[in-house]
Structure formats: structure tokens, C-alpha cells
Amino acid sequence: MNLLLVDDEFHVRKKLMQKIDWKTLGIDRLLEAGDGEQGYELAVNEPIDIIISDIRMPRMDGIEMAAKIRELYPDCVILFLSGYSDKEYLRSAISLHALQYIDKPVLPEQVISAVKEAVSYCNNLRNTSFAAKIKEVRLARLLCTPKPDAGQLSCLLEECSLSTLAFSDSRTILIQLLTGDGIPSGLLEKLGELLEHSGLHYLLGDHHDNLIVIHLLSDKEQMVSSLTSSFFKPLFQRVSYLFKNTSYFIAVGQLAENIQEVYQSYQSAVIGLQQNFFLGSNSVSFAGFPESPEYRPDENFRRKLLGSVKQNDPHTCFLLLESLYQSYQLHPAGLISVVRENYYGILSQLFQHCLSHRIAFPSASNQQLWDVISSAKTLRDLHIIAVNLYQSYFDFVKKNQEELSVSGKLRRLIEENYGNPALGLQFLSESLKLSQSYISQLFKQETGTTINQYIITYRIDMASSLLLKSDRKISDIADCCGFTDQNYFTKLFKKCTGMTPSEYRGYLP
């Protein structure tokens, strides 16, 4: 058995070549290359059973090389060496169906384990029935490409003892597993047994790490076009027993009248998986699902939601979140990415509210928040994430009600009355019916500044904005910001900004 090791880092290749007893693993010959182009040249002259390759390399990357070698040796096994930065890049390699992705830095024991699995796979190919199944899987995958290679298609049809007429009345079904662990071992075999027990003729394979593809084919005894929802319902109930605690989507594509339309059936099933997102986990969608207009929340939704937070009104907040969820459910159309972005917006505005009002509710970075949103597999998951976060916020506020309500009300009173010359400790004390010493101590503890300092800073900030955005007289601006003495305003403004109001108005940042 021949193994090709390709990596542009010399020390990585040498480490693996010296630390691993390849003969013991069943490798008769080990070939090495420093990049994809050199690796491909070796494969042209020497049959390859297993490839271990880095992703990013000069001249020709590992993905392009593996794809070209697969054309020479369709049964060769691919093991990719991948760094963290390659994760997005690996999406383009999905059609190659690599057996494993070994994380860098590479440990010899990881490679040994992966090679043992690859050798076992290669040995199984010598088994006639196993090899036949592999060819059927390959054909099932090939039919999910928009323009399959005619020669490859013809060859696989012959090897699978099928003709193009077998697809003259066919339909594609997709089953997407919502876990990130891939398809459990033995699941495809059990699913095949279930389909056979149901009297169905089919092609079955995996298409990506978490997607199962079934092409239902007609025969003399049963036409696919004759199968109704009353047939599929009990079938999918039996399928659900196979998945046990694993969540999934099932999407049934449109009828294909010839082999060229199989891809259209596949595509309609892919669209169905989008609808499953709105329908929820373990749901089934059928091509031709009644179309509905895309739902987009009105412009006031986020404002209303934020208003319920500012008013500490959880009842209204959760009614709004529920209405958003139900509206999306009633309109299972549009891009899932847009739905995610909307939920990202209504969560990020909560964190922004806490930051701007100095509320010590734990915040999240943009990346952390997006990672949480991206982890949601269904609309229901997004809804639960939003409800739980807002519930946590209101619980936090309730737990800290006394301190948060007093300091929050103080800031709100200052912001609403900054133009009142009487605004000060006495005004605030009387408004909240709390002693001046208590509110002074609490405000200093909560914000790190005194009430008088906060009033002055806020008034100067408002005055600065008016100076730049309006042509009102400086005396009018001073008056509307609570300063009855223009000279005092000018002196204080220069102390805070380093410029007089006139100089500031003429300053161009």
C-alpha cells in the first residue's frame, strides 16, 4: 500500500517519517513531496492509496492536488493536516470527503490513528460488497453536482448496474443531522435496511459531514411518483427511531423525470432544508411548500424592545420577542443569514444599553455574540437564546434593584433636566425622596464620579454638541444647558475642553 506525504515544512515531514513505523501500519512505500505540484507529479507515476497533505502550500495547495489525484485514483483516501486558520478554507474541500482532518501542530499518535483507519478502509475496498457500496455512494454524490462529468457518470452507472432509465421517475431526499459530530458509524447501513424493508429502490450516500442523500428510484413494482405523503409519514417516523437523541431535518425534493433533473430535485430539497430552519428540529419539508412573503420586522421593533428594557418592563419585552418568533414561523422564507443578523442586532443592543448606562451586566464581544447566534440550528434555538439573555438581564436588574434603580434614575433625571438651573443635589434628593448623603455616596460608588461632576460634564457635552451643530448664540446655548452666567459657562467650558466656546465652534477636528 502506497502513502503520499505532502507538506511544505521540511521538519514536519521528517518528524513524521522518523517517528512512525510505517511498515507496521501496513504501508509498503512512503513517498514525500514539498508542495502540491510535486505531489501530483509523483502520483502520475506511482499509484497512491493514501494521501496525507497540508492545506496551504506554494505552487499548488493540498485541496487542488488531492482533487487531481482523486481523478487518477478515485478510491484513494485523503487525510488533511489543518491549522485553525484553515477551517473556513476547508469548506471548499467538502466534496473531496476527506477521511479525517488532523489538527496542527501534528502529533505522531494522531497520524498513526488516522492511518490505521485509512488502511482498514483500503483493505475493505478489496471486499466486493464493500467496494460496490462505495461506488453507489460515489454515484449518489455525483448526482448532486450541477454538471457531473459524463464519463465518470457513465462509468459509475455501469459499475452500479444502473441505466439512465432508472432515474426517469425519481426523487431526492436529504437528511441533515444538526449535531457537529458527523454521521454516526453504521447509520447509513441501518437506513438502507429500513428503505429496503419499505420496498424502496434507492441510492444512498453521505454528502458533506452531516448530510445524508437518498435518491429514490422507480422499478416495475413501485413508481416514486405514486408515493404520497401518507406513505412518507410512517416512513419518516421509522427513520426518526434510528436517530434517537440526534436532531435532524428531512427535506423531500421535487420529482425528477430524467437523470438530468436529479440535480434539480436535489436543489429543491436543499431549499427545503432552509424551510426546516423555521419549522424546527426533526421537521419534514416537501418541495412545493406553499410560498409566503419574506418577513422583516418593522423599523420600530428594536426601538420598542429597547424601550421595554429602559422601562424595566419584562412583560412587554417577552411579548415582543414572542411576536417576532411567531411572525418568522408564519413566513418560512428568506435568508437564514438575515434572520441571524436580526437576532444579533436585538441582542447586541441590550449589551450596548448596559455599556452606555454603566450597568454591570456581563457583556460579550461581537465575535462571542455572533458565535452564539451561529450555533443556533433552528429559529426556535434563536428565540430561546434571545429570551434567556433578556431574562438574565431582567433577573440581574431585579437582584440589584435598589442600587440600579437609584443610580439609573439619577442619571435619567440629570439627562432630562440638564437645562434646569436648579438641577443639583437638593433637586435630585427631593425628586427621589432620598437623602443627599445617600444618593451622593451611591452615585460615587456606582459611577466613580460625583453627582456635581456628572452634571457639569453632561452639560458641557450638550453645549459642545450645540456649538458644532447649530448657529445659536453662545449665551442662548449656555442658558439652555443650565448656565445662568455666561462668563462662568465660558470659564468652565475652557477648563473642560481647553478652548473657549468661540474657539471650539471654529475648531475643525
Rg (CA), the chain: 33
CA 474 to chain centroid: 53
Q: Note the CATH architecture for domain 2-124.
A: 3-Layer(aba) Sandwich (3.40)
374 touches 327 (CB < 8 A): no
Span 93-110, mean pLDDT? 77
Whole-angstrom Cα distance, residue 197 to residue 231? 13
Neighbours of 125 (CB within 10 A): 13
Span 243-264, mean pLDDT? 91
Confidence of residue 128 (pLDDT cuts 50, 70, 90): low
Confidence of residue 509 (pLDDT cuts 50, 70, 90): very low
Per the rule left: phi > 0, alpha: psi between -120 and 50, beta: everything else, 10 is: alpha
Predicted confidence at residue 49, as pLDDT, reads 92
Predicted confidence at residue 221, as pLDDT, reads 80
Span 308-316, mean pLDDT? 93
363 touches 312 (CB < 8 A): no
3-state secondary structure 245-301: CCCEEEEEEEEECCHHHHHHHHHHHHHHHHHHHHHCCCEEEECCCCCCCCCCCCCCH
Is residue 403 scored above 60 in pLDDT? Answer: no
Q: What is the mean pLDDT of the chain?
A: 87
| Residue, of 426 and 81, whose pLDDT is higher | 426
- Residue 461, all three cell numbers: 457635552
Q: Of 19-23, 105-109, 323-327, which gets the smallest average pLDDT? A: 105-109
Is residue 75 scored above 90 in pLDDT? Answer: no
Predicted confidence at residue 360, as pLDDT, reads 81
Confidence of residue 167 (pLDDT cuts 50, 70, 90): very high
Q: Which residues pair with 174 in a beta bridge?
A: 213, 251
Share of the chain above pLDDT 70, in %: 94
Task: Name which of 418, 434, 403 is nearest 477 in CA terms.
Answer: 418
Is residue 178 scored above 80 in pLDDT? Answer: yes
| pLDDT tens, position by position, 266-282 | 999 998 999 999 999 99
Is residue 449 scored above 60 in pLDDT? Answer: yes
212 touches 175 (CB < 8 A): yes
482 touches 420 (CB < 8 A): yes
Q: Does domain 402-506 have CATH number 1.10.10.60?
A: yes
Span 125-144, mean pLDDT? 80
Predicted confidence at residue 123, as pLDDT, reads 86
CA 8 to chain centroid: 32
Span 57-77, mean pLDDT? 87
| pLDDT tens, position by position, 193-241 | 999 888 899 999 887 768 999 999 998 888 999 988 888 999 998 988 8
| pLDDT tens, position by position, 344-362 | 999 999 999 988 887 888 8
Q: What is the DSSP string of 2-32?
A: EEEEE-S-HHHHHHHHHHS-HHHHT-SEEEE
Helical spans, DSSP H, in 73-149: 108-124, 128-142
* 199 class by beta-carbon count within 10 Å (0-12 exposed, 13-18 middle, 19+ buried): exposed
Q: Where are the domains of the chain?
A: 2-124, 128-286, 301-399, 402-506
Pairing of strands 50-54, 100-103: unpaired
Type of residue found at 358: R
Is residue 95 scored above 70 in pLDDT? Answer: no
Q: Does domain 128-286 have CATH number 3.30.70.260?
A: yes
Q: Where are the beta strands (DSSP E) in 118-245?
A: 170-177, 201-206, 211-217
Phi, psi of 52 (to 5 degrees): -115, 115
The owner of cell 431526499 is 173
The owner of cell 417577552 is 318
* pTM to 2 decimal places: 0.64
